[in-house]
Amino acid sequence: MAEASTHIFRVSLKPKLYREIEIDSGKSLYDLAEAIVRAFDFDLDHAFGFYGRLTGNYTASPVRYELFADTEGGSSDARSVKRAKVAQAFPIVGETRLFLFDYGDEWRFKSQLVGLGKKIPKARYPKALVTVGKAPPQYPNMDEDE
């Protein structure tokens, strides 16, 4: 059996606003999405997807993974985020995908695989390795009217 491995991602909102996250390579894209939103102090309370196109019409990406594919009666022809493994969606270092969170507010995270690692026994994954920049509030200006 192959050694247990990890995937290391740089996930950025802007060039100087990013997180590096290490996750077990066998985890699902849903688990990766959860790790990303947590690293930016967001709540995982909206639909999301991973897309091969970083700009423009991301829904025309040849390979798409969407939460909609996992919902009962979902109308998506995309691949499942709950069944797809991190290692399947990001097979090579340098692979980059748009992680689109909240289709209303359209939080666009550039998610790039920057390295592969080896799981350390008893270590907890996912984990944040690097934090650069202050994350914006998920819901800006919600309390200003009160």
CA distance 43 to 77: 26
CA distance 17 to 76: 31
Structure tokens at 5: 């491995």
Please state the pTM of the whole predicted model: 0.91
Q: Edge-to-edge strand order for the sheet containing 5-14?
A: 79-80, 64-66, 48-51, 96-101, 107-118, 5-14, 17-24, 127-132
pLDDT in tens, 54-99: 999 998 999 999 998 887 666 678 999 999 999 999 999 999 999 9
Q: Is the pLDDT of residue 28 over 70?
A: yes
Q: Is the pLDDT of residue 1 over 60?
A: no
Query: 48-51 and 64-66: which strand pairing?
Result: antiparallel
For residue 100, the SS3 value is strand
**What's the start-to-end Cα distance of the chain, in Å?**
58
